[in-house]
Amino acid sequence: MTAHAEAGRSTLERDWWLRLALVLQAPRIVFRALRDDSDEAAGARQEPLLLVGFLAGLAGVLSTGAIGHALDDFQLDGVDLAITVFFGALFYGLVGYFGLGALVYLGENLADGRGSYRRSRHLLGFACAPLAVSIVLWPVRLALYGEAWFRSGGADGDAGGDVFRALDVAFVVWCAALLVLGLRELNGWAWRRAAVAAVVPLVLPALALLRAQGVV
């Protein structure tokens, strides 16, 4: 690779790191940039997507009902819990990226889209940026509740715990809205068509969220 080519790749990678932050403020610009599905562009955004995938997976694991009483039900200590959460985040990240990415691709195709599976995965990754950002709330939770958050009844019925759970829902809804917007911008669709295409990938997360909140 020539010095010119290396400089060009470095610039592309830097641009995608900047877009990772921009997706929270001006998502249309980022989703339009995803229309470039060339190998060069796709390779340049791999590292930001890996970061989002892991952090979103981590947020997903920490929001499950099982984690809310893991120290009681599974007889874990703090170190065991940290290890379990870490590997769970990797698993959730991979399953979400490839599994839900496939559902995004299926939804696009059912709506007569022309995107690739790779582009659908990348769209999902950037749409999940708010979920990744939600990790910043966890130091606050731990400061307020400590390990009690991971024990039965630790934050149940507590006003602060209810606020954090409401924020979890808000971040997921934000991700869903970004997915619909992304489908619209990538494909040049009307809002209704983009929303219909998004139903396929959003059904499973919606059911999981309702179950985590004790609704179903």
Q: What is the C-alpha radius of gyration for the chain, rounded to an integer number of angstroms?
A: 19
Residues 85-99: tens digit of each pLDDT: 899 999 999 999 999
pTM passes above 0.85: yes
- Distance in angstroms (rounded) separating the CA atoms of residues 144 and 155: 10
- Which tens digit of pLDDT belongs to each residue from 139-185? 998 888 887 778 776 666 576 778 888 898 899 999 999 999 999 99
pLDDT digits 0-9 by tens, 187-201: 999 999 999 999 999
Reduce the secondary structure of 95-124 to three states and give it as a string: HHHHHHHHHHHHHHHHCCCCCCHHHHHHHH
pLDDT per position as a tens digit, 26-55:
999 999 999 999 999 999 999 999 999 999
